[in-house]
Amino acid sequence: MTFSHPRSNWIIVATLLLSLVLMILPLPSGVGWFRPQWVLLVLIYWFLALPNRVDLFVAWSSGLVLDVLQNNALGEHALVFTVVAYFVLRFQTRINFFPFWQKTAVILGFILLNTILQFWLERMLGNPVISGWYWLSVVSTLLFWPWVEILLYHWQRRFNVR
């Protein structure tokens, strides 16, 4: 049995905190629609890399913190992240064996699931999204996925996170 360094837990927490900061950084008005879903990307990476350490509670609590930071209805992101987390964790063993292009297609499915659920919840809560630009975050999130995966993989190996 191998044990990770006690400080390695902080790498997971630090990456989630960094993703939360990136989600609330102010952007120019015309670029706001292109903001990637940073928290979702980081969560998906850790679900695939360490399913025994990052679970549904982490998804729920990250979503709850994001709801507070973005002044959304409490539990909106928490619910969506938990649903996405369930499916990622359910199929984690299969996804890790997929080639890059197939894994990217599956990640696109998770990003779309996240965005569709967010869109639906916004409508149910009486805050309909008026602009079609809303869907551009799907593209930007998918474009950043390979870079996030490479960076977090490097940090996971560098800090011996297991």
The answer to whether residue 110 sits within a structural domain is yes
The answer to whether residue 4 sits within a structural domain is no
What is the distance between the alpha carbons of residues 101 and 34, in angstroms, rounded to a whole number? Answer: 23
Is residue 82 within 8 A of residue 63, CB to CB? The reply is yes
The answer to whether residue 139 sits within a structural domain is yes
Q: Report CA-CA distances (Å) from 6 to 14, 16, 105, 141.
A: 14, 17, 34, 31
- Domain extent for 67: 33-156
Q: In this structure, what DSSP letter does residue 25 have?
A: S
The answer to whether residue 8 sits within a structural domain is no
The answer to whether residue 130 sits within a structural domain is yes
Residue-wise pLDDT tens for the chain (162 aa)? 344 556 678 999 999 999 999 999 999 988 888 999 999 999 999 999 999 999 999 999 999 999 999 999 999 999 999 999 999 999 999 999 999 999 999 999 999 999 999 999 999 998 877 777 888 999 999 999 999 999 999 999 999 998
pTM of the predicted protein model: 0.93
The answer to whether residue 82 sits within a structural domain is yes
Count of structural domains, the chain: 1
